Copies of this chain bind each other. A is one copy, B any other.
Amino acid sequence: MAAFERKKTRRVLIGNVAIGMDEPIRIQSMTNTKTADVKATVEQILALEKAGCELIRSTVNTKEAAAAFSEIKKEIHIPLIADIHFDYRLAIKAIENGADKIRINPGNIGDRKRVQEVVSAAKERQVAIRVGVNLGSLEKELRETKGATPEALVESALKNAGMIEDMGYDNLVISIKASDIPTAVKAHELLSEKTDHPLHVGITEAGTALYGSIKSAIGLTQILTRGIGDTIRVSLSADPVLEVRAARQILRTLGLRKEGVEVVSCPTCGRTDIDLIALAEEVTRRTEDIALPIKVACMGCVVNGPGEAKDADLAICGGKGEGLLLKKGEVVRKVKEEELVEALLTEINILQNEQTLF
């Protein structure tokens, strides 16, 4: 369980998925296909849905990309968000083509008149707007007067959200992103004190799969444990499916979501007589998109194995050429090494079916 209290923000509906208030912290990602390539984009979104993605964003950088939105929406099951940079007309086109939310970057969307046109179109269809500020593309005057600081980020976000509210629209989400963790954490603390709009949080440009996941986990831990954040995106230079898997692992580890199989596995050492790394990798790979909230232990020896296995729903404990299969700490049976993974997956399937029945 989470040992901290989450700040109550306003509830905002994006298509059929709500964020903020008491809603679960939602997992989102971004496609990296050409949005105009409907087939490739839909294929990627379906894979993301399977991994647990609840909201998806695609860039709308051309008229063709905006037009593709209505086609993509027919094939997918989660809300589709349009990412807009520079051209306010593409924001309007995306809304007309069924975008469930649009993200605009105050640093590059242009003057008040243009924003007003976008807001009018969004208001007409009650499409939420994310005001998404990045330290790397902060408005020029702010960067010059306040520097690349947490204060500048927060000022930019609040000023632009305030402008939209002044236009009579408050169906808003805010994000402020920096790749430097202390800057990001400080900025989120400041922002959260000053607004009750739901916040989209994440560490931008975190890096490649492994290092980027570590950096994101460190940043998000410090933000989420302060009770801040209603939807997260882990930004990786990697297949976006990995972003969703990393996001799920972060939320589960922090006790903020329960979905997913937690694989506890021992680091191997000179005592290990079984190929535990390969075994744990295979169990992880074959269970990573399963939503069933259970704990599975893959242990390599008798020192910590049985103790950890006690707390796991299912466990395998390696010996020499064979292992034990355990359920809730009780030995089910002895299994040959090469059959251990299948035996474990069969038990997981049984648990999944039981859950579906009740």
Cross-chain contact A267 with B32 (CB below 8 angstroms): yes
Chain A residues numbered 236-265 whose CB sits less than 8 Å from any CB in chain B? 236-240, 242-243, 245-246, 249-250, 253-255, 262-265
* Interface of chain A: mostly helix, strand, loop or mixed: mixed
Proximity bits, A105-141, B CB within 8 Å = 1, else 0: 1001000000000000000000000000011111000
CB distance from A280 to the nearest CB of B (A): 4
List A residues 192-243 near B (Cβ within 8 Å): 204-215, 217-219, 221-222, 225, 235-240, 242-243
Indicate whether A326 reaches chain B with its CB closer than 8 angstroms: no
Question: With the chains together, A34 CA to B320 CA distance in Å?
Answer: 14
Residues of B within 8 A of A310 (CB): 136
Which 6 A-B pairs give the minimum distances between C-beta atoms? A136-B307, A59-B270, A217-B217, A136-B304, A235-B267, A237-B280
Known: A31-B270, A105-B303, A205-B308. 19 other contacts (CB 8 A): A30-B269, A32-B270, A59-B270, A59-B271, A136-B308, A181-B253, A181-B254, A182-B255, A205-B265, A205-B297, A208-B280, A210-B210, A211-B245, A214-B246, A215-B253, A218-B218, A235-B266, A237-B280, A240-B267
- Interface set of A (CB-CB < 8 Å, partner B): 1, 3, 30-36, 41, 58-59, 61, 65, 83, 85, 105, 108, 134-138, 148, 179-182, 185, 204-215, 217-219, 221-222, 225, 235-240, 242-243, 245-246, 249-250, 253-255, 262-272, 276-277, 280-281, 284, 288, 297-299, 303-308, 310-311
